[in-house]
Structure 1
Amino acid sequence: MTQTVLVFLDRALPDGRIEDATKPQLFATDLGATRGDGVFETALVLDGHVRKLPAHLHRMTHSAALLDLDIPDHTVWERAIVTALDEYQRVVGPLTEVVVKLVVTRGVEGAHEPTCWVAASAPAPAAKRQREEGIDVLLLDRGYDSDVAERAPWLLLGAKTLSYAVNMAALRYAHAHGADDIIFTSTDGQVLEGPTSTVLLAHAEKDDAGRVTLKRLVTPRLDSGILPGTSQGALFAAAKDAGWELGYGPLVPEDLFDADAVWLISSVRLLTPVNHLDGKPIGSDPDLSKALTEELAALFDAIH
């Protein structure tokens, strides 16, 4: 079993309270457990550095605001993260690659005090394998149209909440049908996101000598009811500086099949190539797809 370091945020202890992750810690009446009422973020630590931490903390604050949930200041989370990583280094090993999860629930029912903690653990072995080998993906209907987020904000489609039962069910469906992951589509036919990732696609143009003269990176519309990706935002900024053109949907499934490369990107699995979509290969030129992946992966690896 993966060893996890657990640090609870505590008003009486500014740097957090270390607890035993192998022992019960959460009250059975905590609304995070009984109703999925809370938010979270997952960040990756590489060589001791928490990647994109300000972006994760900003998004968690935004998610909490959508839930009318008061959470501690960023500095409180930062101190608890330091405590967790120091303890991880002491009891587990080097901070070469560590997953840090920040969780806040509405707390015990009736107590009006959030429950907040930081968990540090090693990444799942599949994450590295999938980013290196690529994945097979299915398209699944999410059951909403692309305008529902604006029309029904109570659905919380722009928040990263603890209510992940549908996402996990979609992944189980993919695994049961021989795939690794899925991409949600809307009822009006637009490409949305993965259960735990953002969708990216690329097009490249070549001159008569075969040299790439233009590279365009595209992601679905951010107002289509998807979670704004911290990884997508960071990679877009790096790609723009490197001369890529950028685009935001709307995208339909045919755009994915016509792309030179498609990826799912997330904080832990990083930039992961899609090899097949609904059983069909992505990209007509494997060498070009590989070159685009290597270039973007290098840009993403340099992000702090």
Structure 2
Amino acid sequence: MSIVAIIEFDEAGVATGSRLGDAATPVLRVDDLGPTRGDGVFETASLVHGNVQALEAHLARFVQSAAMLELPRPDVEIWRDAVRAVAASLTSQGVTSGSIKFVLTRGVEGSGVPTGWVLGTASPDFTRERTDGIRVVLLDRGYRHDVPQTAPWLLAGAKTLSYAVNRAAQREAARRGADDVLFVSSDGYLLEGPTSSLLLRLGSRLVTPRVDLGILAGTTQADLFTWAESAGYATGYELLTPDDLESADAAWLVSSVRHVAPVRSVDGRHRAVDGELTGRLNAALDARTS
């Protein structure tokens, strides 16, 4: 089941509103710079029992990514209304767990008019990943941890449509008998997954890689930190290495739709899963009302 809202723009490229449409009806022209060049940005939010979770954080990151690509600034009110309309339509059709992706491209080359839409779908069942855990491989991302400062034109930290490398990394993980990837900088620091953030438990602390390493600031990870602090855990953003992962009491890859997936092996080496805390973390995410 899929629902789409199309963002409407005037001839000057200014968003004027949105309308629900048929997800089977084409939205893109074949010469749109989104599919031809990957020239655009997107976000994916989770829909749980009618609530679009972390919507404001996703919208803020959407605006930030658009700025990094020098795209027109998204009108947050119009995009928020479109997301909520899609969520309401999905919920009215009985979807209790879904994902809502909103996309902005530069549009047809030379037109000056962006293309935008919001797509809502029912989510797959991630029960196995959330309970049994996932097998992860470490892959070199190919640049240093300070690339945002040394090469800002690489757009590290922007959520762009250019996901060919991320998909290639996931295929490499499958070839190695794993489920997912954790990227490492060329100078040896842990970064993020292709579609997820890393979370480690070190005793009574929950930590994640620093966001100035050219990685996305995780919306799900931020909500988990808020919950963890209320539950008595210290939290932190740190420079982390594979040795920290090896010695951690528990590790997870966290993302908007799959939520919290415990890491049960790294490069084929088994590691313990903290099932009790995993359950509490996923319950905390499901309990969010915004």
| Interval of TM-score (by shorter of Structure 1 and Structure 2) | over 0.9
State the alpha-carbon separation in 2 of the partners of residues 163 and 181 from structure 1: 18
Moved more, 52-61 or 243-252: 243-252
Q: How does 1:33-48 map to 2 (within 5 A)?
A: 33-48=35-50
The match for 1:270 is 259
State the alpha-carbon separation in 1 of the partners of residues 180 and 94 from structure 2: 30
Moved more, 74-83 or 192-201: 74-83
The match for 1:101 is 101
1:7 is the counterpart of 2:5: yes
The match for 1:68 is 70
Amino acid at match of 2:6: F
The match for 1:291 is 276
Q: How does 1:194-205 map to 2 (within 5 A)?
A: 194-204=193-203
- Quote how far apart the aligned CAs of 1:261 are: 0.6
1:86-130 CA-partner distances (Å, limit 9, x unpaired)? 33345xx223111100000001111101101000101123x3431
SS of 1:190's partner is coil
CA contact under 8 A between 1:6 and 1:119: conserved in structure 2? yes
Amino acid at match of 2:261: T
- Quote how far apart the aligned CAs of 1:159 are: 0.7
Q: How does 1:48-67 map to 2 (within 5 A)?
A: 48-67=50-69
- Quote how far apart the aligned CAs of 1:11 are: 4.2
SS of 1:223's partner is helix
Amino acid at match of 1:240: E
Amino acid at match of 2:169: A
CA contact under 8 A between 1:97 and 1:123: conserved in structure 2? yes
State the alpha-carbon separation in 1 of the partners of residues 243 and 261 from structure 2: 20
Instruction: Return the index of the structure with the highest Cα Rg.
Output: 1
SS of 2:135's partner is strand
1:245-277 CA-partner distances (Å, limit 9, x unpaired)? 112221111111111110000000001100101
Amino acid at match of 2:151: A
- Quote how far apart the aligned CAs of 1:15 are: 5.3
Structure 1 residues 110 and 197: CA distance shift in structure 2, 3 A: same
The match for 2:119 is 119
- Quote how far apart the aligned CAs of 1:21 are: 2.0
Q: How does 1:230-245 map to 2 (within 5 A)?
A: 230-245=219-234
SS of 1:61's partner is helix
Moved over 6 A (4+): none
Amino acid at match of 2:122: A
Moved more, 234-243 or 180-189: 234-243
Percent of residue pairs identical = 49
CA contact under 8 A between 1:15 and 1:83: conserved in structure 2? no
CA contact under 8 A between 2:136 and 2:263: conserved in structure 1? yes
- Quote how far apart the aligned CAs of 1:280 are: 0.9
The match for 1:211 is none
- Quote how far apart the aligned CAs of 1:233 are: 1.2
CA contact under 8 A between 1:16 and 1:83: conserved in structure 2? no
Match of 2:212 among 192, 198, 223: 223
CA contact under 8 A between 2:42 and 2:161: conserved in structure 1? yes
State the alpha-carbon separation in 2 of the partners of residues 34 and 8 from structure 1: 20
Moved more, 169-178 or 80-89: 80-89
CA contact under 8 A between 1:14 and 1:79: conserved in structure 2? no
1:183 is the counterpart of 2:163: no
Aligned CA RMSD, in angstroms, stands at 1.7
Match of 1:300 among 278, 285, 290: 285
State the alpha-carbon separation in 1 of the partners of residues 48 and 89 from structure 2: 16
SS of 1:200's partner is strand
SS of 2:98's partner is strand
The match for 1:18 is 20
Amino acid at match of 1:159: A
State the alpha-carbon separation in 2 of the partners of residues 65 and 264 from structure 1: 27
State the alpha-carbon separation in 1 of the partners of residues 91 and 213 from structure 2: 41
Q: How does 1:76-225 map to 2 (within 5 A)?
A: 76-89=78-91, 93-125=93-125, 127-204=126-203, 215-225=204-214
Amino acid at match of 1:298: A
Amino acid at match of 2:109: E
State the alpha-carbon separation in 2 of the partners of residues 170 and 218 from structure 1: 24
| TM-score normalised per structure 1 | 0.89
CA contact under 8 A between 2:139 and 2:182: conserved in structure 1? yes
